[in-house]
């Protein structure tokens, strides 16, 4: 079990989606004007990651990877469909997001009100596709590992956007040089936060 916690902690703090890989920056910069919406988007991203990454893991393991099709017929051992993985992953993500939207709307209207507006944004969030691609590259042994990784990445992303939104709320009251206002300072703050997160490197 230790491996699972390792992966979780590592993906939250050290290989943070935003601070180490800059994934999902577009929505990170756009939806961080206040803490509440930032939190909502963060939860939505975590949720979608936790669903899509394990699904993509199974698809990769049993359909796409070289030799993955042997469970149908041993003759397929040399079939390598991994060149299709990009298309399949993005299709799976778009499909699942759509599905989630419908399911949530039907069964939990409260949650839908909170997350609904974010879900369409998410299909094209680089963090989601990125997480699936990293998962494929990291070659996890079981689906539980991929889930732990997805959850960790999601929580890391959430943490980053909430921290950033909190700083941005305060920023309104600071005296920033004119040319730097807006996006300029946003990038620099993210960079500084990233340097702060590097302190976790030692764990």
Partner 1 sequence: MAAGMKSFSNKYIFFYITVLVVAVVALLTVVTLGLKPRQTANRTADKAMQILHAAGYQDVTSDKAVALFSRVAEKKTGEREVYGIRCADGSPGVVMRVDGKGLWGAIWGYVVLDGERSPVKGVVFSHRSGTPGLGANIAEENFTSRFVGKKLYDANGNFTSVRVLQKGKSPDVALDNRVDAISGATLTSKGVDKMLQQLNNEGK
Partner 2 sequence: MKLPLGPLSKDNPILVQVLGVCSALAVTAQLKPAVVMALSVTVVCAFSNLIISLIRNTIPPRIRIIVQLLVVSTLVIVVDQFLQAYVYEVSKMLSVFVGLIITNCIIMGRLEAFALSHEPLPSFMDGMMNGLGYGLVLAIVGCLRELLGSGTLWNHPVIPSSLYAAGYLNNGLMILPPMALILVGSLIWILNSKKSKAK
Nearest approach, Cβ of 28 to partner 2 (angstroms)?
Answer: 9
Cβ contacts of residue 101 below 8 Å, gap of 6+? 112, 116, 119, 120
Phi, psi of 139 (to 5 degrees): 60, 55
Contact call for residue 175 and partner 2 (CB under 8 A):
no
Instruction: Fill in the per-residue mask, 87 to 126: x = in contact with partner 1 (CB under 8 A), - = not in contact.
Output: x---------------------------------------
- Report how many residues bind partner 1 under the rule CB under 8 A: 16
Rule CB under 8 A: choose which of 73, 83, 106, 110 binds partner 2: 83
Instruction: Say if CB 22 and CB 193 are below 8 A apart.
Output: no
Cα separations (Å) of 190 from 22, 95, 183? 10, 31, 10
Contact call for residue 164 and partner 2 (CB under 8 A):
no
Instruction: Say if CB 127 and CB 45 are below 8 A apart.
Output: yes
- Classify residue 87 by burial, with Cβ atoms within 10 Å: 0-12, 13-18, 19+: exposed
Query: Interface with partner 2 by CB under 8 A: which range of 143-151, 152-160, 165-173, 189-197?
Result: 189-197
Residue 20 or 63: the one with the smaller Cβ distance to partner 2 is 20
- Per-residue buried b or exposed e for 153-178, using 16+ beta carbons within 10 Å of the residue's own CB: bbbbbbbbbbbbbebbeeeeeeeeee
Nearest approach, Cβ of 184 to partner 2 (angstroms)?
Answer: 4
Rule CB under 8 A: choose which of 32, 125, 146, 148 binds partner 2: 125
Residue 136: alpha-carbon gap to chain centroid: 14
Contact call for residue 198 and partner 1 (CB under 8 A):
yes
Nearest approach, Cβ of 13 to partner 2 (angstroms)?
Answer: 14
Q: Could you give the CA distance from residue 49 to residue 151 in angstroms, rounded to a whole number?
A: 7
Which among 100, 86, 81 has a CA at the least distance from the CA of 129?
86
Residues lying near partner 1 in the complex (CB under 8 A): 6, 10, 14-15, 20-21, 83-84, 87, 134, 137-139, 198, 201-202
Residues lying near partner 2 in the complex (CB under 8 A): 19-26, 29-30, 83-84, 86-87, 90-91, 94, 124-130, 133-134, 136-137, 177-181, 183-188, 190-195, 198
């Amino acid at each position: 079990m230790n491996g699972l916690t390792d992966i979780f902690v590592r993906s939250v703090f050290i290989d943070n989606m935003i601070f180490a890989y800059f994934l999902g920056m577009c929505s990170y910069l756009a939806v961080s004007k206040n803490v509440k919406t930032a939190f909502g988007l963060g939860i939505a991203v975590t949720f979608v990651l936790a669903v899509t990454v394990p699904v993509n893991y199974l698809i990769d393991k049993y359909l796409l990877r070289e030799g993955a099709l042997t469970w149908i017929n041993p003759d397929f051992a040399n079939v390598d469909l991994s060149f299709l993985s990009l298309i399949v992953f993005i299709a799976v993500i778009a499909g699942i997001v759509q599905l989630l939207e419908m399911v949530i709307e039907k069964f939990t209207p409260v949650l839908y009100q909170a997350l609904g507006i974010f879900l369409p944004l998410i299909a094209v969030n680089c963090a989601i596709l990125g997480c699936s691609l990293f998962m494929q590259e990291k070659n996890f042994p079981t689906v539980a590992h991929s889930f732990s990784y997805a959850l960790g990445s999601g929580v890391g992303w959430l943490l980053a956007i909430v921290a950033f939104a909190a700083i941005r709320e305060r920023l309104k009251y600071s005296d920033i040089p004119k040319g730097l206002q807006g996006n300029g300072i946003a990038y620099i703050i993210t960079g500084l936060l990233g340097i702060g997160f590097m302190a976790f490197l030692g764990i």
